[in-house]
């Protein structure tokens, strides 16, 4: 989303951040870690300084660099030292070194998904040959299209957002003194969490659409830590509420049915004044709850439970008490929710971010030269994620053996039979096919009649079926009303694609300029990952919403042309399918401005459309010349 | 490392637990694919399995943990381990449940030239990989849909042949590698290629429990386990022990279970009805039904076993229509209702 997120009260967020720091300092292994959404800056520095002051003296916070190689992360042979000493020197991995401490992952959203998954498994304590127990601190600077790997997010018990905090809101800079933290650590095993709180936390997770059972479990643990911090042996409702805030808030996937915020009504209003197409204004925007976001399986808490689990050993009057408690806990999680997330959820669009962004890369991320088909060998030391070619190394060393032995006779005594030097090292090179991503930019405005929208959806699904055999990915960007929305981040998942397409409503103005700008952003991002990109633009080209969201054709057209030209600079392959029943010169002009291949398609079904795109994808390089 | 969460203490997810147990009874089934939501106990089930599996007798010192009754070439060639057709020393070990981490290189999986010994001593030695460690046990791949394609191909190939053949870097090594492949993943992250799907014997779909009491029970047990692992495991020991005994008995009875013509006919009709390609579907269905009969303590396969196992054995083998939203499971259920009316 392009608008700056408006955020909840910074001071409250900071208070929660302090509590979270104390929790993760008291029970690192049990909570797995924390995800901190914050840009680099003084606030984040202050937070980490507080954490540093809170952890036990013997525990360390170790920085895990972004492009760490497996050898460093999980341990392995230290090649340089081995060669120098003539015997194998094993270096312990960083994760083994942080045993009992904290692994700090800054820019966690940029970590290779394969690596973040392995860190996640290491947090579980299941990593190969590693018994290290540690917590991870993931600094998440991601925006809409990047997020921390879902597998890793699953293992991080706490999630906080520091974006609302400014230097001014940092009032308190000391979390809790060391003595109380130590006391809490000692008390922790004794603290009981009453059944009613466990139930309330489970119910709150369900109501917020949090499916994973790890989250209520983490919340129970957090409640226990909070009680221990407070010097109590039993957790109370307040602890559960705070736990819900610290664990659930950032992960909510939907709002409880009875909790739609009031401002939601404004959000749903389409800027219909901008759509001057008149007659073909097709359908009112869909009801936010009507798309496929599943309704809560549990009725909202203020409605009476139709079938309270009867195996609870509680008297009748205890049931309302439980409900009240459920509500208090749920309310706590909602209260801390950033308004942007709240609105997004209210629209029924489960946040892509909270699902782990782009499917944590699903294999589309550019990898180091360690995989793929081998393509030759070159001289050099194995750098991060490269593999030594042993045969070539030994072959290079072979002719020099006699001379080297004479030079360094003492090494033979230590059992070294061959002398290999750094100059001999050769590494394998691999060639990797770059994944192709097809970006569909779908005009869902009122002027693109709704039946064309259905065709576009069909074509995307057909193409996805192909992609899933070819291992390519597809993204869908839809535009209507005032803005473009990334409906489907690059994915190969049929399940997700179908779900998000089914939820695409139609109607409203045609903001071509904004759509092209969003496309440009997406393409740049994909290119950075090393993808080959093909853009398929399905529109009638009749722009009627200018970049600033105001109506009026002339300005809208001018903006659209300008955006089209800026897209041309990227030299990306674009296929513009004109979907209007009577092709209109504007679309052709637009195609020309962005250097796209233009195909009018006044009447065709989904399969014809998918055939055209398939042809374009195959002859991709020829596309621009056309 | 603390002991794993007990298999028996996993709440619900009956189909997944059954599929994993059947694969343990009948390793020729071809492994299990578990697809579904996060945090539903996929990994927990596989890790809990290790404690459940009966112990294995192995030739002491064999890097592949081979059976003294069926020694590998490596053992036969080694006088320290094998003399006069008899193992010098054997030992009982827990059955391996090996994790294949995402991002593992081919070297680590298949094994490679031993770098340390090659560099320091100039000896050409084979350093066994994960496939060697998994021999006679389970190989678990979490997020199998994110694994490199060539690695998945390799795994499936080795799983089917039971032998790992390494021809690289001047090495020529073959060693036994019979394991049950268990793959898990979340379909929202991307799908598995159809040609790989049907190489898995059984496929299970797990969803997060919908009923609140069940969810509460999951959280409660997990919490109890994390607080006092030893006490928790002790509490479930009996249950685990019962499952282990049943598993051992089922393994022993497996060969005695009859599959009559009627059952075979039903299997063939089911597969025809569903239009599954090839004979793998029928074969798996038959083997799975037989393993289930053994698990149930029956001496022959009846329609009940067929009905129960049809969905996990066949649902991933159907031709998919990307525009058809009705799930594969319901298609299998419809076919079962037609072919094997209750």
| B142 contacts in chain A (CB < 8 Å) | 117, 121, 151
pLDDT for A466 beyond 80 = no
Interface test mutation site (partner B, options A79, A202, A398, max chain B beta carbons within 10 A):
A202
A416 touches chain B (CB under 8 A): yes
Interface contact flag, B216 A199, Cβ < 8 Å: yes
B119 touches chain A (CB under 8 A): yes
Q: Residue with structure tokens 């525009």?
A: B323
**Residues of B recognised as catalytic:** 280
From A114, A216, A473, residue closest to B103, measured CB to CB: A114
pLDDT tens digits along A337-361: 766 666 666 554 443 333 333 333 3
pLDDT for A304 beyond 70 = no
| A150 contacts in chain B (CB < 8 Å) | 38, 186, 189
Q: What are phi and psi of A77, to 5 degrees?
A: -80, 130
The alpha-carbon gap from A363 to the nearest alpha carbon of chain B, in Å, equals: 6
Q: What is the pLDDT of residue A509?
A: 82
Residues of chain B with CATH 3.40.50.300: 31-48+105-206
The more confident residue out of A223 and B209 is A223
Q: In the CATH hierarchy, which fold is given to the domain comprising B31-48+105-206?
A: Rossmann fold (3.40.50)
pLDDT tens digits along A472-489: 778 888 888 878 888 888
From A30, A121, A217, residue closest to B219, measured CB to CB: A217
Q: What is the pLDDT of residue B156?
A: 81
From B116, B169, B222, residue closest to A77, measured CB to CB: B116
Q: What is the pLDDT of residue B327?
A: 67
| B146 contacts in chain A (CB < 8 Å) | 113-114, 117, 360, 362-363
Tokens representing residue B266 in the block: 């039903």
CA A109 to chain centre: 7
How high is the mean pLDDT of chain B?
Answer: 83
Residues 6+ apart with CB under 8 A from A227: A191, A193, A233, A234, A235, A236, A239
Band of pLDDT at residue A622, cut at 50, 70 and 90:
very low
| A195 contacts in chain B (CB < 8 Å) | 220
How high is the mean pLDDT of chain A?
Answer: 72
Band of pLDDT at residue A277, cut at 50, 70 and 90:
very low
Residues of chain B with CATH 1.10.8.80: 255-339
- In 3D space, the residue among A149, A291, A156, A298 whose CA is nearest the CA of residue A214 turns out to be A156
Band of pLDDT at residue B92, cut at 50, 70 and 90:
confident
Neighbours of B246 (CB within 10 A): 16
Q: Where do the H-state alpha helices sit in A307-371?
A: 318-335, 339-346
B324 touches chain A (CB under 8 A): no
Band of pLDDT at residue A262, cut at 50, 70 and 90:
very low
A370 touches chain B (CB under 8 A): yes
Q: How many whole angstroms separate alpha carbon B168 and alpha carbon B79?
A: 27
The more confident residue out of A448 and B323 is A448
pLDDT for A301 beyond 50 = no
From B188, B193, B227, residue closest to A496, measured CB to CB: B188
Interface test mutation site (partner A, options B114, B124, B187, B190, max chain A beta carbons within 10 A):
B190
pLDDT for B322 beyond 50 = no
Interface contact flag, A213 B186, Cβ < 8 Å: no
pLDDT for B249 beyond 60 = yes
Least confident of A140-154, A261-275, A405-419: A261-275
Q: What is the pLDDT of residue B21?
A: 92
Q: What are phi and psi of A102, to 5 degrees?
A: -130, 135
Q: What is the pLDDT of residue A596?
A: 81
Q: What is the pLDDT of residue A5?
A: 43
Q: How many whole angstroms separate alpha carbon B246 and alpha carbon A155?
A: 34
- Give the right CATH number for A434-623 from 3.30.9.10, 3.10.560.10, 3.30.460.20, 3.40.50.410: 3.40.50.410
- Dihedral sign for Cα atoms in the order A614, A619, A623, A626: negative
Taking the domains of chain A in order of start, what are their residue ranges?
10-251, 373-431, 434-623
pLDDT for B108 beyond 70 = yes
Band of pLDDT at residue A567, cut at 50, 70 and 90:
confident
Interface contact flag, B219 A198, Cβ < 8 Å: yes
- pLDDT > 90 fraction of chain A, expressed in percent and rounded: 6
Tokens representing residue B263 in the block: 């059952």
- Mean per-residue pLDDT, B286-314: 89
B127 touches chain A (CB under 8 A): no
pLDDT tens digits along B155-185: 888 888 888 888 876 778 888 888 888 988 8
Q: How many whole angstroms separate alpha carbon B117 and alpha carbon A88?
A: 8
Q: Which of B:240-299 have CB within 8 Å of A?
A: none
Q: What is the pLDDT of residue B28?
A: 85
Q: What is the pLDDT of residue A360?
A: 33
Instruction: Return the residue of B nearest to A123 by Cα.
Output: B1
Interface contact flag, B215 A216, Cβ < 8 Å: yes
B213 touches chain A (CB under 8 A): yes
pLDDT for B291 beyond 90 = yes
Q: How many whole angstroms separate alpha carbon A32 and alpha carbon A212?
A: 15
Region at B203 (left for phi over 0; alpha for psi -120 to 50; beta for the rest): beta
Q: How many whole angstroms separate alpha carbon A213 and alpha carbon A219?
A: 10
Asked if residue A405 lies in contact with residue A412, where contact means CB atoms within 8 angstroms, the answer is: yes
From A297, A360, A468, residue closest to B189, measured CB to CB: A360
pLDDT tens digits along A509-544: 888 888 888 888 888 888 877 778 888 888 877 788
A99 touches chain B (CB under 8 A): no
* Matching fold, domains A10-251 and A434-623: yes
Q: In the CATH hierarchy, which fold is given to the domain comprising B255-339?
A: Helicase, Ruva Protein; domain 3 (1.10.8)
Q: B104 vs A375, A558, A576, B170, B293, CA distance in Å?
A: 20, 52, 42, 22, 38
Q: What is the pLDDT of residue A416?
A: 59
Q: What is the pLDDT of residue A146?
A: 64
Interface contact flag, A416 B213, Cβ < 8 Å: no
B323 touches chain A (CB under 8 A): yes
Q: What is the pLDDT of residue A264?
A: 37
Interface contact flag, A198 B223, Cβ < 8 Å: yes
Q: What is the pLDDT of residue A359?
A: 34
pLDDT for A181 beyond 70 = yes
Please give the class, per CATH, of domain A10-251. alpha beta
Interface contact flag, A213 B99, Cβ < 8 Å: no
Instruction: Return the residue of A nearest to B113 by Cα.
Output: A390
Residues 6+ apart with CB under 8 A from A198: A216, A220, B216, B219, B220, B223
pLDDT tens digits along A89-98: 777 778 878 8
pTM of the model: 0.69
Q: What are phi and psi of A352, to 5 degrees?
A: -65, -35
Q: B324 vs A462, A494, B314, CA distance in Å?
A: 11, 11, 17
- pLDDT > 70 fraction of chain A, expressed in percent and rounded: 68
From A205, A362, A473, residue closest to B146, measured CB to CB: A362
| A83 contacts in chain B (CB < 8 Å) | 119
ipTM of the complex model:
0.77
Q: How many whole angstroms separate alpha carbon B337 and alpha carbon B333?
A: 6
| B39 contacts in chain A (CB < 8 Å) | 154, 211-215
Q: How many whole angstroms separate alpha carbon A108 and alpha carbon A159?
A: 13
Neighbours of A548 (CB within 10 A): 10
| A297 contacts in chain B (CB < 8 Å) | 210, 212
Q: What is the pLDDT of residue A266?
A: 38
């Amino acid at each position: 989303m392009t608008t700056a997120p408006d955020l909840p009260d910074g001071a409250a967020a900071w208070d929660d951040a302090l509590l979270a720091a104390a929790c993760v300092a008291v029970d690192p292994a049990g909570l797995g870690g924390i995800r901190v959404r914050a840009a680099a800056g003084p606030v984040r520095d202050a937070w980490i300084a507080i954490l540093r002051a809170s952890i036990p003296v013997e525990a360390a916070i170790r920085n895990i660099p972004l492009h760490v190689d497996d050898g460093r992360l999980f341990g392995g042979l230290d090649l340089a030292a081995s060669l120098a000493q003539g015997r194998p020197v094993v270096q312990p991995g960083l994760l083994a070194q942080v045993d009992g401490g904290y692994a700090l992952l800054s820019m966690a959203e940029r970590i290779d998904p394969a690596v973040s998954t392995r860190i996640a498994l290491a947090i579980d304590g299941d990593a190969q040959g590693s018994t290290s127990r540690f917590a991870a601190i993931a600094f998440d600077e991601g925006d809409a299209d990047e997020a921390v790997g879902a597998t890793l997010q699953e293992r991080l018990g706490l999630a906080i957002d520091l974006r609302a905090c400014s230097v001014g809101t940092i009032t308190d800079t000391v979390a809790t003194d060391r003595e109380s933290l130590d006391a809490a650590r000692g008390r922790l095993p004794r603290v009981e969490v009453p059944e009613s709180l466990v139930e309330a936390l489970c119910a709150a997770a369900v109501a917020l659409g949090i499916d994973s059972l790890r989250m209520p479990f983490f919340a129970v643990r957090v409640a226990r830590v909070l009680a221990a911090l407070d010097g109590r042996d039993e957790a109370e409702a307040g602890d559960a509420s705070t736990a819900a805030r610290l664990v659930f808030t950032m992960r909510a996937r939907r709002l409880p049915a009875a909790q739609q915020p009031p401002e939601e009504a404004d959000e749903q209003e389409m800027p219909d004044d901008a759509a001057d197409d008149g007659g073909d204004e097709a359908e009112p925007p869909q009801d936010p709850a009507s798309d496929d976001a599943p309704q809560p399986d549990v009725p909202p808490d203020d409605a009476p439970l139709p079938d309270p689990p009867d195996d609870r050993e509680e008297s009748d009057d205890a049931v309302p008490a439980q409900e009240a408690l459920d509500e208090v806990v749920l309310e706590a999680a909602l209260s801390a929710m950033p308004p942007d997330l709240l609105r997004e959820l209210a629209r029924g669009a489960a946040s892509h971010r909270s699902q782990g962004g782009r499917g944590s890369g699903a294999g589309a991320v550019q990898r180091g030269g360690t995989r793929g088909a081998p393509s030759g060998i070159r001289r050099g030391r194995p750098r991060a994620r490269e593999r030594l070619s042993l045969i070539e190394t030994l072959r290079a060393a072979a002719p020099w053996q006699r001379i080297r032995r004479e030079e360094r006779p003492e090494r033979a005594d230590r059992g070294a039979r061959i002398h290999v030097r750094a100059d001999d090292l050769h590494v394998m090179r691999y060639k990797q096919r770059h994944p192709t991503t097809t970006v569909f930019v779908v005009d869902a405005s009122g002027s693109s009649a709704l039946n064309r929208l259905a065709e576009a959806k069909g074509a995307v699904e057909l193409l996805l079926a192909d992609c899933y055999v070819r291992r390519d990915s597809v993204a869908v960007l839809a535009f209507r009303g005032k803005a473009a929305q990334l409906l489907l981040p690059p994915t190969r998942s049929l399940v997700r694609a179908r779900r998000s397409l089914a939820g695409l409503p139609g109607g409203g103005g045609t903001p071509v300029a904004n759509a092209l700008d969003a496309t440009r952003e997406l393409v740049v991002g994909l290119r950075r990952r090393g993808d080959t990109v093909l853009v398929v633009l399905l529109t009638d080209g009749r722009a009627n919403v200018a970049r600033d969201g105001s109506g009026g054709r002339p300005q809208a057209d001018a903006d659209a042309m300008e955006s089209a030209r800026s897209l041309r600079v990227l030299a990306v392959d674009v296929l513009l399918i004109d979907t209007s029943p009577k092709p209109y010169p504007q679309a052709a002009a637009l195609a020309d401005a962005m250097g796209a291949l233009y195909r009018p398609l006044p009447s065709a079904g989904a399969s014809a459309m998918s055939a055209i795109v398939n042809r374009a994808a195959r002859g991709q390089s020829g596309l621009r010349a056309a | 490392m603390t002991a794993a969460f007990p298999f028996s203490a996993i709440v619900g997810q009956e189909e997944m637990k059954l599929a994993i147990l059947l694969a343990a009874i009948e390793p020729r089934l071809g492994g299990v694919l578990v697809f579904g939501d996060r945090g539903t106990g996929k990994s927990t089930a596989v890790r809990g399995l290790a404690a459940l599996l009966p112990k294995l007798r192995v030739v002491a010192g064999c890097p592949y943990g081979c059976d003294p009754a069926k020694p590998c070439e490596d053992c036969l060639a080694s006088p320290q381990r094998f003399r006069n057709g008899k193992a010098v020393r054997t030992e009982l070990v827990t059955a391996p449940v090996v994790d294949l981490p995402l991002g593992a290189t081919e070297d680590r999986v298949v094994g490679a030239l031993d770098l340390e010994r090659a560099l320091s001593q100039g000896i050409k030695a084979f350093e066994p990989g994960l496939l060697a460690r998994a021999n006679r046990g389970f190989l678990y791949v979490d997020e199998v849909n994110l694994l490199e394609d060539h690695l998945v191909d390799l795994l499936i190939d080795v799983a089917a042949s039971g032998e790992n053949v390494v021809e690289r870097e001047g090495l020529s090594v073959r060693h036994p590698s019979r394991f049950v492949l268990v793959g898990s993943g979340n379909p929202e992250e991307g799908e598995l290629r159809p040609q790989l799907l049907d190489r898995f014997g059984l496929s299970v779909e797990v969803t997060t429990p919908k009923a609140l009491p069940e969810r509460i029970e999951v959280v409660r047990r997990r919490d109890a386990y994390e607080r006092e692992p030893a006490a928790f495991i002790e509490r479930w020991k009996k249950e685990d022990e019962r499952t282990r005994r049943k598993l051992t008995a089922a393994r022993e009875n497996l060969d005695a279970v009859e599959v009559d013509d009627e059952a075979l006919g039903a299997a063939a009709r089911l597969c025809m009805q569903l239009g599954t390609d090839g004979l793998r579907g029928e074969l798996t269905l038959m083997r799975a039904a037989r393993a289930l009969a053994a698990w149930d303590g029956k001496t022959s396969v009846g329609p009940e076993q067929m009905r129960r196992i049809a969905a996990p054995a066949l649902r991933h083998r159907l031709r998919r229509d990307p525009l058809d939203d009705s799930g594969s499971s319901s298609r299998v259920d419809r076919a079962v209702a037609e072919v094997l009316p209750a």
